[in-house]
Amino acid sequence: MIQLHDLHFQPYLSTEDIQTVVSDLAKQILLDYKDRTPLFIGVLNGSFIFLSDLVRSYNGDCEMSFVKYTSYEGTSSTGTITTDLAFPSIEGRDVIVVEDIVDTGNTLAHIYKQLENANATSIAVASLFLKPDVYKKDFKIDYVGKEIPNKFIVGYGLDYNGLGRNLPEIYQLNTTQND
């Protein structure tokens, strides 16, 4: 059990569990993109560790870049999204947006809006985690590492109010301890 700010979290996925999910995703993507050079675009801050492991597992030519938005405060989405770092030029590129986790899908909807008129050759989304019980949008998430229950998680890039990103494993909010 660990504590970040006021909340307690329990171990959920080990580093081995995560690496299996990430390398399976990389293999899946390589099968689809083996004749192309995809441009991985990581959504900061949460995806920075996932992206770095994903590209190191990706056994083919690829490029990478980043965008940054703010939507979360505490353990729930605020619904308002601001752009802190905008998209690079994606004209003629095979773009793969890399997300740490898709929750409500608000961030993804915002990203799609920015991408749709930028003349990319193709656009795909890879997310390490998806909360299917919360996700209510129609945008396709092409590559999902793991579907998880609607519980707040931290570690491996994911934070609770700034803390927990450096944890190598994933931890889940412990509802009994926090009640």
Chain contacts with Mg ion (rule: CB under 5 A): 43, 46, 100
Binding map of ligand IMP across residues 121-150, x = CB under 6 A, - = no contact: ------------------------------
Query: Which residue from 26, 102, 125, 130 is in contact with ligand IMP, where contact means CB under 6 A?
Result: 102
Whole-angstrom Cα distance, residue 152 to residue 160?
9
Two tokens at 146?
Answer: 């793991």
DSSP secondary structure letters along 24-37: HHHHHHHHHHTTS-
Catalytic residue among 32, 61, 103, 142: 103
Q: Does 103 qualify as catalytic in the annotation?
A: yes
Footprint (CB under 6 A) of ligand IMP, residues 16-75: 43, 46, 71-72
Whole-angstrom Cα distance, residue 145 to residue 153?
15
E-strand ranges in 15-161 read 39-44, 63-73, 76-85, 94-102, 122-130, 143-147, 153-154
CB of 138 to Mg ion, least distance (A): 20
Nearer to ligand IMP, 36 or 151 (CB): 151
Two tokens at 117?
Answer: 């008129």
| Footprint of ligand IMP (CB under 6 A) | 43, 46, 71-72, 77, 99-107, 152-154, 158
- Which residues belong to the active site? 103
